[in-house]
Amino acid sequence: MGVFCYLMEAPYLTWAMIGPDGVVTRPPTAVTDIDRPVMIHDMALTRRFLVLVLGPLYFDVRAAIRGGSLLSWRPEDGTRIALIPRNGGPVRWAHTETFWTWHGANAFDDGDDEDAPVVLDYVHWSHPAGLMPGLATGGLARATIEPRAGTVQRTWLDQGSMELPRVDDRRIGGRHERIAVASVTGRRDLVGGDHDALTIYDTRTGSRVRWDAGNLAVGEPVFVPRPGTVEADDGWWVTFATDRTDGESWFLVLAAGDPGSGPVARVRIPTRVPLGLHGSWLPTEE
């Protein structure tokens, strides 16, 4: 497992590796090609690299002391993507036009040789929604990063308001067949951070299936495979949801083979689950 830490003073960014037994296999290692504190919200992992997207959102302590914002958005700098070799080799950098991302879905190496491209699927925003003024636009994007050339080519899987992308956790670091997101239908007036649908994308065909959640505000979808199976649709997508009409929260289960038909099971949660809650589901020990 790879982890990262951004700091307010040099070194501004470090990374480390942790084994499946929880033992640190590589201690915190500085990324030296950064000259100021930068916010990084998420990362991805491939067989070769830790993948970090550095949008031009910087911490500005002096401005905050003067009564201004702690965060400074500088789109003229563009966005950089760091490919950090898991073996400790030199960081590969790519530079592209400015964008922001809160969450990545997954990344993988598109080949076996040293210079094979890295593919990153993520939710793309024109600027940090909720932190900077103005309407942020975006969608689900795929970035193909060339480690040697330092170039980035982007294609759109879909455009619109969405967040919290997930794949089958068994596919993390490798090729994935499905991406699920909490999305917006455009049929309702929603508050910021609210989503009224779940959308599942087939990355091979480009097709998508959407379930309209109606009065339910849905959260991050997580894939739960049927035990002993390997197929992409043999299992369930699960999520928390809160009813806008009465504030009650629910745990929803959708069949991965037919998510557009809606939940096959619902469990009422005795306390309200806040919007935006997301994390990982782990099997319980016997």
What does pLDDT average to over the chain?
Answer: 94
Q: Work out the number of other CB atoms within 10 angstroms of the CB of residue 94.
A: 21
pLDDT of residue 197: 97
pLDDT of residue 55: 97
pTM score = 0.94
Mean pLDDT over 137-150 rounds to: 96
Mean pLDDT over 92-100 rounds to: 97
pLDDT digits (tens, 9 = 90+) for 42-56: 999 999 999 999 999
Mean pLDDT over 14-39 rounds to: 94
Closest CA to 59 of 78, 84, 36: 36
Q: Which two tokens stand for residue 86?
A: 């898991």
pLDDT of residue 7: 94
Closest CA to 85 of 116, 120, 51, 54: 51
Q: Is the pLDDT of residue 110 over 90?
A: yes
Structural domains in the chain, CATH included, are 1-160 (no CATH), 172-274+277-281 (3.10.450)
- Report CA-CA distances (Å) from 191 to 70, 102, 196, 228, 261: 25, 18, 11, 40, 25
pLDDT of residue 281: 65
Residue 261: what are its φ and ψ, rounded to 5°? -80, -5
pLDDT of residue 134: 83
Mean pLDDT over 148-153 rounds to: 96
Q: Give CA 28 to chain center in angstroms.
A: 23
Mean pLDDT over 162-189 rounds to: 95
Q: Is the pLDDT of residue 191 over 90?
A: no
Count Cβ atoms within 10 A of the Cβ of residue 204 and give its class: 0-12 exposed, 13-18 middle, 19 or more buried: exposed
pLDDT of residue 131: 82
Q: Is the pLDDT of residue 188 over 70?
A: yes
pLDDT digits (tens, 9 = 90+) for 229-286: 999 999 999 999 999 999 999 999 999 999 999 999 999 999 999 888 887 766 666 5
Query: pLDDT class for 176, splitting at 50, 70, 90?
Result: very high
pLDDT of residue 145: 98
pLDDT digits (tens, 9 = 90+) for 205-233: 999 999 999 999 999 999 999 999 999 99
Mean pLDDT over 133-156 rounds to: 95
Report the run of H or E that residue 63 belongs to, with start and end: helix 61-65
Q: Of 135 and 156, which is predicted with more confidence?
A: 156
Describe the strand order of the beta sheet including 2-6 as a list of residue ranges.
2-6, 13-18, 24-30
pLDDT digits (tens, 9 = 90+) for 113-141: 989 999 999 999 999 987 888 889 999 99
